[in-house]
Structure 1
Amino acid sequence: MSRWGITLPLTGVPVLDHRALVAELADLGYTDVWSAETAGTDAFTPLALASQWSDRIRLGTAIVPAYTRGPATLAMSAATLAEVSGGRFVLGIGSSSPVIVQRWNGVEFREPFRRTRDTLRFLKAALSGEKVTEDYETFSVRGFRLERVPAEAPPIMLAALRPGMLRLAGREADGAITNWLGAGDVPRVREELGDRAELAARVFVCPTEDADAARALGRMLISTYLTVPAYAAFHDWLGRGEALRPMREAWAAGDRRGAGALIPDRVVDDLIVHGSPAECRRRVAEYAANGVDTPVIAVLPTGADQFDLVRALAPNA
């Protein structure tokens, strides 16, 4: 396997406490650190720090919403991270969700496909040093040019779940980032993306042999995420709509506690990797065998020391 990523910062661990771990990652066999951005850390700051703690790790955002920063600000952040990392940065952008964009940031969540496409096209021009004056379908830019153009424009990847966005990523971006899928779902995603572009997938990993505990945590997360319309449509496309229907109906009726209990074990086991660290490594490798170029582990807390879990899940463990 050529790449093996980890999602940082770890849940509940202060950002600055990751320094020693990041310095170890390359020797452990990790090739990538990917951040996230919901309601915890922003996507860029942890990567800027990691870029100074290791000079051997690729750094990526998975993902930055296309709505919550202006296009020029997003270009400046990407260019800065490309500079401080010495060209080891990958910019992952996506539409995010109505909760994050509209309810939390006060920005209208409108035309997500077009907004992501337009942001991609603007960033490709801006990060290559062009002066951009353009009326895109979802925003306009007048006379913007980066003052600090990266020596090499960073790759741009799109958060993509269903065929339209996957095909856009395959045509116009450098790759696609996906999550909440099983290893068996990868060929269908890869077929839409095509063979040219990189496919990264965040894989939720709960390294415990207590299957009941892992499934309980998995049910809580699945009921929270897979009731979001974009993820619900994704799993309809993947063929899980009927299996998830009772959960969705209970959630819509306000029975949040009961909804998780209605998720079949087979669905939880598809979407949440659990078991011994060795079993988890084997299952993550299945994603790569099925067409994922960069599996990115997201460690789910088990009560054990999370740094130890990252070490135990490493390719060189």
Structure 2
Amino acid sequence: MSRWGLTIPLTGVPLARHQKIVSELEDLGYTDAWSAETNGTDAFTPLALASQWAPGLRLGPAIVPVYTRGPALLAQQAATLAGLAPGRFVLGIGTSSPAIVERWNAIPFTEPYQKVRDTLRFLRRALAGEKVTDEALGVKGFKLDNPPETPPPIVLAALRPGMLHLAAREADGAITNWLAPDDVRQVRAELGAEKELIARIFVCPTPDAEAARALGRWMIAAYLTVPVYAAFHEWLGRGERLAAMNEAWAAGDRKAALEAVPDEVVDELVVHGPPEACRERIREYVENGLDTPVLAVVPADGVKLPEAVRALAP
């Protein structure tokens, strides 16, 4: 297997306490470390630290929202990481969600497809060292002082055909999440065979199936009721099985929404079981066309995260 990634920082573990486990990742067989940006750490700081703690890992944010930074600042931060990890940094960008963009950052969430497309095109030029004027983004005459010697690949958060086709045409790959191994074939068919496909996979390495399913139901109800994820799973064929959850959530009945998540859907979308069983399940994703699995370790009672990271190593 060529790649095996980990989501950093680990849930509930302060970033300042990550040096030891991150510095072990290469020896354990991990090839990548990918951050995220919701309401915890920002996407770039964990990667800056990891670039020094583990100088052989490939690093990337999955993903940076294109709305919450100006185009020039996003180019500056990408160039900084590309300089800290030459040839080892991949920039992941995407729309994020209305909750993060509008509710938390008070920025209008308008024309998401166009915003991602235009930001991708701007970043290509800026990170290549060009002076860029971009009417679509309102940028006038921006040029990086220190463009990276090796411009980083850019990959797009993509769930359904429109964004996957954009990734296939203009980006270096696509990032997805919340999918089962069998779903990989459907996503890969839209992306094509030539571009890298990266997916965050939620993993709860515990033999207590009921505990893992309880956590999984909560996560699924919180994530898959977001309209873009609801549409994604409608496209993947889970619309009918998730309809009761979505209806209860929309009515404000969180308890009923959790109860409406079928165990079979949890088992499809959340990898759980003893570590060796989890590794085998993750390999199913790869066999179906996934290039880079990125493990997001879900904490459960009795699961110590650094030990879980070691146990899940390839």
Instruction: Give the TM-score of the pair, scaled to structure 1.
Output: 0.98
| Secondary structure, counterpart of 1:13 in structure 2 | coil
Task: State how far apart, in whole Å, the 1-side matches of 2:73 and 2:201 are.
Answer: 30
| Partner residue, 1:44 | 44
Moved more, 297-306 or 71-80: 297-306
Is 1:202 the counterpart of 2:200? The answer is yes
In the TM superposition, residue 86 of structure 1 has moved relative to its aligned partner by: 2.4
| Partner residue, 1:311 | 310
| Partner residue, 1:64 | 64
Residue segments in structure 1 that go unaligned for 5+ positions in a row: none
Task: State how far apart, in whole Å, the 1-side matches of 2:87 and 2:141 are.
Answer: 26
Task: State how far apart, in whole Å, the 2-side matches of 1:280 and 1:87 are.
Answer: 30
Is 1:151 the counterpart of 2:149? The answer is yes
1:234-286 Cα shifts (integer Å, max 9, x gaps): 00000000000011111111111110111111111000000000000000111
Task: State how far apart, in whole Å, the 2-side matches of 1:166 and 1:118 are.
Answer: 15
Task: State how far apart, in whole Å, the 2-side matches of 1:130 and 1:194 are.
Answer: 30
| Partner residue, 2:86 | 86
| Partner residue, 2:19 | 19
| Partner residue, 1:8 | 8
Moved more, 216-225 or 256-265: 256-265
Moved more, 259-268 or 96-105: 259-268
Task: State how far apart, in whole Å, the 2-side matches of 1:191 and 1:96 are.
Answer: 23
1:192-250 Cα shifts (integer Å, max 9, x gaps): 00111100000000001111110000000000110000000000000000000011111
Instruction: Give the TM-score of the pair, scaled to structure 2.
Output: 0.99
Task: State how far apart, in whole Å, the 2-side matches of 1:36 and 1:242 are.
Answer: 30
Task: State how far apart, in whole Å, the 1-side matches of 2:143 and 2:251 are.
Answer: 50
Task: State how far apart, in whole Å, the 1-side matches of 2:245 and 2:112 are.
Answer: 26
| Partner residue, 2:296 | 298
Letter paired with 2:20: A
Aligned pair partner of 2:241 in 243, 246, 261: 243
Task: State how far apart, in whole Å, the 2-side matches of 1:281 and 1:172 are.
Answer: 33
1:65-119 Cα shifts (integer Å, max 9, x gaps): 0000000000000000000112311100000000000000010000111101111
RMSD of aligned C-alpha atoms?
A: 0.6
Task: State how far apart, in whole Å, the 2-side matches of 1:69 and 1:162 are.
Answer: 24
| Partner residue, 2:138 | 140
Aligned pair partner of 1:211 in 185, 209, 217: 209
| Secondary structure, counterpart of 1:60 in structure 2 | strand
| Secondary structure, counterpart of 1:183 in structure 2 | coil
In the TM superposition, residue 133 of structure 1 has moved relative to its aligned partner by: 1.0
The alignment of Structure 1 onto Structure 2 pairs a total of residues equal to 313
In the TM superposition, residue 122 of structure 1 has moved relative to its aligned partner by: 0.4
Residue segments in structure 2 that go unaligned for 5+ positions in a row: none
| Partner residue, 2:265 | 267
| Partner residue, 2:228 | 230
Aligned pair partner of 2:274 in 273, 276, 282: 276
Moved more, 176-185 or 260-269: 260-269
| Secondary structure, counterpart of 1:89 in structure 2 | coil
Is 1:256 the counterpart of 2:254? The answer is yes
| Partner residue, 1:99 | 99
Instruction: Please say if residues 86 and 150 of structure 2, whose CA atoms lie closer than 8 Å, have aligned partners that are also in contact.
Output: no
Task: State how far apart, in whole Å, the 1-side matches of 2:104 and 2:59 are.
Answer: 26
In the TM superposition, residue 141 of structure 1 has moved relative to its aligned partner by: 1.0
